[in-house]
Chain A
Amino acid sequence: MSKTSEPILEIRDLKVSITDKPAIQIIKGIDLMIRAGEVHTIMGPNGSGKSTLASTIAGSPVYTVDSGEIRYKGCDITHAKADERARDGVFLSFQYPTVIPGVTMVNFMREALKARRGAEVPAREFLGELRETLAQLKMGEEFARRYVNDGFSGGEKKRAEILQMGLLKPDLAILDETDSGLDVDALRTVAEGVNALRRPEMGILLITHYERILNYIHPDFVHILVAGRIVRSGDASLAQEIEAEGYDPILKALGLLEGAAAS
Chain B
Amino acid sequence: MVDAASTTATTGSGAYAEAQVSADALGRGEPAWLVRSREEAARAFAATPMPTPALRPWKYTELSGLDIESFAPDAAFAPLVIASVPTGGFAGSIAGALDDAAQAGAVEAAFGSVVQGTEGKFVAANAARWSGGVFVHALRGGVFATPVTVDVRAGGGAIFPRMLVIAEANSEVTIIVRNRSTAAPLLVAGVVEIVAAEGARVRLLLDGDWGAATDEFTTVRSRVGRNADVQVASLAIGGHMQKQHIEALIEGEGANSLIRGIALGDGDQHFDFVTLQDHMGAKSTSDVEIKSALAGASRSVYYGVTRVETTAKGAAANQQNRNLLLSDHAKADSDPVLEILTSDVIRCGHGATVGPVDGEALFYLQSRGLDRRSALKLLVAGFFASVLGDAAFAALADDMQERVERKLAVAAL
Contacts and interface: CB of A to CB of B under 8 A. Distances in A.
A, B assembled together? yes
A116 interface: yes
Given A100-B382, A102-B384, A112 B361 contact: no
B64 interface: no
A86 B371 CA distance: 10
A97 interface: yes
Interface in A50-74: 58-62
Contacts of A83: 366-367, 369-372, 375
Interface size class of B (residues with CB under 8 A): 20 to 34
Contacts of B368: 86, 108, 111-112, 115-116, 164, 168
Chain A interface, >50% SS class? mixed
Nearest to A97: B364
Interface residues of A, number: 30
Chain B interface, >50% SS class? helix
B402 interface: no
A116 B369 CA distance: 6
B365 interface: yes
Contacts of B7: none
B379 interface: yes
A147 B364 contact: no
B382 A147 contact: yes
Nearest to A167: B368
Contacts of A112: 365, 368-370
A260 interface: no
B311 interface: no
A98 interface: yes
A103 B369 contact: no
Contacts of B352: none
Contacts of B369: 83, 86-87, 112, 115-116, 168
Interface string B359-390: 11101111111111011001101111110000
Given A61-B359, A111-B374, A115-B374, A101 B367 contact: no
B322 to A, nearest CB: 11
Nearest to A88: B369
A62 B363 CA distance: 9
A108 B372 contact: no
B88 to A, nearest CB: 43
Interface in B328-368: 358-361, 363-368
Given A60-B363, A108-B368, 8 more contacts: A59-B367, A81-B372, A83-B372, A91-B367, A97-B364, A100-B364, A111-B378, A115-B370
8 contacts: A58-B367, A82-B367, A83-B370, A97-B364, A98-B361, A100-B365, A107-B378, A111-B365
Interface of A: 58-62, 81-83, 86-87, 91-92, 94, 97-103, 107-108, 111-112, 115-116, 147-148, 164, 168
